[in-house]
Structure 1
Amino acid sequence: MPFLTYELAQDIVERTMNILNRNINVMDDKGVIIGSGDSERINQLHDGALLVLKNGEHIQIDESRAAKMKGARPGINLPIRFSSQIVGVVGITGEPEQIQNYAQLVKMAAELVLEQSFLLERVQWKQRIQSEIVNQLISEEGLNEEWLKERAGFLGINLEQPRMAIVLKPSNYTEITIQNIMRSIQYEISKSDLIGVTFNNEIVVLKTAAGKEIKRELLPLLKRLLTTLDGVRIGSGNLAKGIKELRSSFYQAKRAILIGSKLQPEAGFYHYEDYRLEVILAQLAQEEQDKSAFSFYHQLLDQGKKGELVNTLEAYIKEGGELNKIAESLFIHRNTLRYRLEKIKELTGKDPRNIKDLIELYIAKLLYDIS
């Protein structure tokens, strides 16, 4: 592909003309003007540029010399170099004696814009390849492991390493938001990690992990991300030891966000292991054909002062049924607690002091909380 495009050449022109009150021209490797402060000169052949391309050196053109050259005006023309080769020419219009102090500045600016454009294109290419790999790894379609390993190899990434899926879900889905988050994450992850955007605008990081302490190792990273990224919820799945387990880790992370954000909306980060029971119970309950099977929980919502029965059940679950701790956390007497437990049993037909009934109460509460 050509190093200098019309768009890039005009970008160089506009940037340099904002600094200098002089007309700037950019010529390609054929000597054709492809960027200029004077739009009428676009696509004209510039003899001065041809000389620069031929000799590899800058040239000064005065009035008398310009009159003999096609497409040239008084000024200085300099080679634009990239990767040790001349890829074009940049010219600054004016009397050479008056503008020679600016000539090298213009050349440096042109080469800097070109280098930045190349680096950006390389980063964007890498992001596209990574997103393609990530989407394949978490896809429901059959995996072509050899093809994926080969693609990842182009980026210097070894897919055989154990990885954990981290999913980031922005509250505001816009292309700018996604790109800003991607840029922020790039500074926080290692070169061996994969990052991509799914078709549902979820940002997925397949983070390399060493062992069982991965959650503890991730905490500093996650805290920085939550501090930096406003309105983003983060979930992580379990460690995937092989390529085929990555899809499972991805869906675990998604479910952790789904359940965790309903139960603890203030948390921001949700690790699947911390919500495994709730995820499993919710899935089982949602498969129940009789949708009224857990409607008994609604009896608690309609009774009691300020939801006291619901609060009592929550405290009972949190404190593991230890009556003294429950009474202390609710600032009530044990006799009041016993009365409330009996009231829950009377209204729902489920006794919290019975383990089977307590499980059903918890499932019913969980379904209500995530609905």
Structure 2
Amino acid sequence: MEFLTHELAQEIVERTMKILNRNINVMNAEGIIIGSGDRERINQIHDGAVLVLKKAESVEIDESKASELKGSKPGINLPIRFNNQIVGVVGITGEPEQIRNYAELVKMAAELVLEQSFLLERVQWKQRLQSEIVNQLISDEHINEVWIKERAGFLGIDLQQPRAAMVLKHSGKQETTNQQLISAIQFELGKQDLTGVTFNDEIVILKAGSQFERKAFLNRLVKAIKEKTIVGCGSLAETIKETKTSFQQAQRVLMLGQKLEPDADFYLYEDYRLEVTLSKLAQTEQAGNAFSFYDRLLEQDKKGELAHTLDFYIKEGGELNKIAESLFIHRNTLRYRLDKITELTGKDPRNIKNLMELYIAKILNDLR
């Protein structure tokens, strides 16, 4: 496996030369210069590096030795080790006596950049594999459970655990990339949680476990992200095949929640089960005809007082004292408004069946 690429070698050179006012060369495992402050030397054989690779130790080259070695100048060349093997050579140009104190620092910097690059590549590989698994679990296509369990096994993920699907969406101006957003929430995720980006550029979390407190988790999640982000959460999927349903619920409740409660940070399917069901009815022509009585209310309610009162009546469960206090009105005023709603719609909010019809009509209107 090739650990040192031309791009990585040049990155080592540029990072190191910012600190030291000396030319730096990086050679691969064949002793070829693949990164240098002197671009004309790239792709040349460096005999000093070849010597380092043969001896497996540092080599100092003074003026006299440099004249005997091809592609070499006075300096110190040191082996770059990774995973207990020599993968290349880093050289610092200059008289050995003058640069000896810097040589080990240059070697350390080169190995650190290499290790960081390897770790980053590993993290990116894991994230790509997670995204692949997530997209398979939520897709409409047939799931190959053997294949997907094998892939999950590489990551130490047990797909038999129940999971709730969550969909994250930027609200407002998007300045953070999906990868930055995923990085921001990593510390809130468990070892068995899966994250991925769908083909439609949606960020999905498959949160493992049935015992976690969802609202507390979602609160922590949105706080971990600097930019305004909203989340839709589906119900718990007990099996692999139910994961797609949980994801679809998360999508729907996220879309509906933004219309019904635009100031909320997250939406749970369990809290909007009725609204999600009604959203399908809202797309039909029959819905408009069946609940046209609500249109009469909106036509006459120019200031929006009656609709606002109905909202509070529903939220407070018909408790008149609480409703009056919340609206800062007298109970008699509240009764007058309820009578007016009844007069305009033919539906009395104080009757449970009528109230249900009013609420359904309101939801359908909001969703149109």
* Range into which the TM-score falls when normalised by the shorter chain: over 0.9
Question: Would you say 1:80 and 2:80 are equivalent positions?
Answer: yes
Question: Would you say 1:301 and 2:298 are equivalent positions?
Answer: yes
- The aligned runs of 1:306-317 (5 Å cut-off) are 306-317=303-314
SS in 2 for 1:321: coil
Segments of 5+ residues of structure 1 without an aligned counterpart are: none
- TM-score normalised by length of structure 1: 0.93
Write the letter of the residue equivalent to 1:224: R
SS in 2 for 1:255: helix
> What is the Cα deviation at residue 172 of structure 1?
5.8
Name the Cα RMSD after superposition: 1.9
Q: 2:274 aligns with which of 256, 274, 277?
A: 277
For these two proteins, the number of residue pairs brought into alignment is 367
Distance 2:319 2:186 in 1: 47
Match of 2:179 in 1: 179
Distance 1:151 1:35 in 2: 37
Distance 1:176 1:354, change over 3 A: closer
Match of 1:226 in 2: 222
> What is the Cα deviation at residue 175 of structure 1?
8.8
Write the letter of the residue equivalent to 2:273: R
Contact 1:130 1:194 in 2 (8 A): yes
Match of 1:268 in 2: 265
After superposition, give the CA deviation of every residue in 1:215-242 in whole Å (9 maximum; x if it has no partner): x2x4443223222312110121111111
Distance 1:127 1:173, change over 3 A: farther
Write the letter of the residue equivalent to 1:110: A
> What is the Cα deviation at residue 168 of structure 1?
1.1
Match of 1:116 in 2: 116
Distance 1:345 1:135 in 2: 50
Distance 1:58 1:34 in 2: 19
SS in 2 for 1:187: helix
78-87 or 327-336, larger mean C-alpha shift = 327-336
307-316 or 170-179, larger mean C-alpha shift = 170-179
> What is the Cα deviation at residue 282 of structure 1?
2.2
- TM-score normalised by length of structure 2: 0.94
143-152 or 319-328, larger mean C-alpha shift = 319-328
Contact 2:164 2:207 in 1 (8 A): yes
After superposition, give the CA deviation of every residue in 1:180-210 in whole Å (9 maximum; x if it has no partner): 1110122221221111011122111111114
Distance 2:19 2:340 in 1: 79
> What is the Cα deviation at residue 79 of structure 1?
0.4
Segments of 5+ residues of structure 2 without an aligned counterpart are: none
Contact 1:173 1:201 in 2 (8 A): no
- The aligned runs of 1:173-252 (5 Å cut-off) are 176-211=176-211, 214=212, 216=213, 218-229=214-225, 230-252=227-249
Contact 1:48 1:59 in 2 (8 A): yes
Match of 2:138 in 1: 138
Distance 1:173 1:329, change over 3 A: closer
SS in 1 for 2:2: coil
Distance 1:187 1:304 in 2: 49
Match of 1:8 in 2: 8
Question: Would you say 1:319 and 2:316 are equivalent positions?
Answer: yes
Write the letter of the residue equivalent to 1:337: L
> What is the Cα deviation at residue 85 of structure 1?
0.4
Write the letter of the residue equivalent to 1:367: L
After superposition, give the CA deviation of every residue in 1:335-366 in whole Å (9 maximum; x if it has no partner): 43333223223323333233333222212211
Contact 2:210 2:236 in 1 (8 A): no
Contact 1:285 1:363 in 2 (8 A): no
321-330 or 46-55, larger mean C-alpha shift = 321-330
Q: Identity rate of aligned residues, in percent?
A: 69
Write the letter of the residue equivalent to 1:70: K
Contact 1:163 1:239 in 2 (8 A): yes
> What is the Cα deviation at residue 249 of structure 1?
1.1
Distance 1:173 1:179, change over 3 A: farther
Match of 2:154 in 1: 154
> What is the Cα deviation at residue 281 of structure 1?
2.1
Distance 1:356 1:293 in 2: 15
